[in-house]
């Protein structure tokens, strides 16, 4: 199963509109990184629970069935990776 960043972003936008009748930007949702079967989604701190519910509501992407599981949440991406995903590599922009 090969899912692209664009497909994930499309599904996040679609589900956000369906669940909350809001644009994904209102919740501050951004796909930071996706690597095969693991990713990082950023949101406004006040929208954490809505974002988790949004992710759990996605049951397929481009006809690929899936279950999205939240491994952890954090106030910073650096802490999230350190605590929950030490092998996950973030691309550094120089």
Cα dihedral value 24, 93, 87, 58, nearest 10:
10
Place of tokens 């989604």: 41
For the stretch 4-49, pLDDT in tens is 889 999 999 999 999 999 999 998 999 988 887 788 999 999 999 9
Closest CA to 43 of 63, 20, 60: 20
pTM of the model: 0.82
- Domains, the chain, in order of start with CATH, read 5-84 (3.30.70.3250)
């Amino acid at each position: 199963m090969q899912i692209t960043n664009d497909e994930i972003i499309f599904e996040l936008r679609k589900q956000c509109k369906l669940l909350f009748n809001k644009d994904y930007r209102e919740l501050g949702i951004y796909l930071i990184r996706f690597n095969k079967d693991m990713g990082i989604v950023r949101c406004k701190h006040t929208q954490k629970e809505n974002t988790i519910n949004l992710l759990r509501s996605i049951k397929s992407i481009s006809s690929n069935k899936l279950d999205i599981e939240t491994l952890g949440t954090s106030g910073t991406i650096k802490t999230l990776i350190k605590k929950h995903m030490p092998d996950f590599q973030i691309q550094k922009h120089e």
